[in-house]
Amino acid sequence: KQEVTQIPAALSVPEGENLVLNCSFTDSAIYNLQWFRQDPGKGLTSLLLIQSSQREQTSGRLNASLDKSSGRSTLYIAASQPGDSATYLCAVSPSGSRLTFGEGTQLTVNP
């Protein structure tokens, strides 16, 4: 059974700091990995999708890497802003269908 772990569970940083969120998964037989953002009481917003054959994806200040063999992914956020405050969820898919989520990292960026 696939298990996804995210570290840290919570993170508080001053504005402008670069930060890294970690995601690990137990079964390396994944089809893709996706990072989401969830604001309190809201749905999920897709940030980055990495196919199993890819090693990283970038969008603006966000960069996600994938090391499938070691079962790890990182989300790098550059020059963090208060508007980045949210819960960040990592999810993996074994076959392009169902997703298994981690429990998320709650990020607070202080002005």
Partner 1 sequence: GAVVSQHPSWVICKSGTSVKIECRSLDFQATTMFWYRQFPKQSLMLMATSNEGSKATYEQGVEKDKFLINHASLTLSTLTVTSAHPEDSSFYICSVLTGGAVSGYTFGSGTRLTVV
Q: Which residues bind partner 1 (CB under 8 A)?
A: 31-32, 34, 36, 41-46, 49, 51, 89, 91, 93, 96-104
Nearer to partner 1, 15 or 60 (CB): 60
Strands 10-14 and 62-67: unpaired
DSSP string of 33-78, one letter each residue: EEEEEE-TT--EEEEEEEETT-SEEEETTEEEEEETTTTEEEEEE-
Least Å distance, CB 18 to partner 1, is 25
Nearer to partner 1, 14 or 45 (CB): 45
> By three-state DSSP, how is residue 97 classified?
coil
Least Å distance, CB 64 to partner 1, is 12
Answer for the pair 33, 90: CB distance below 8 angstroms, yes or no: yes
Nearer to partner 1, 19 or 99 (CB): 99
* Cβ count near 15 (within 10 Å): 13
Nearer to partner 1, 54 or 74 (CB): 54
Least Å distance, CB 15 to partner 1, is 25
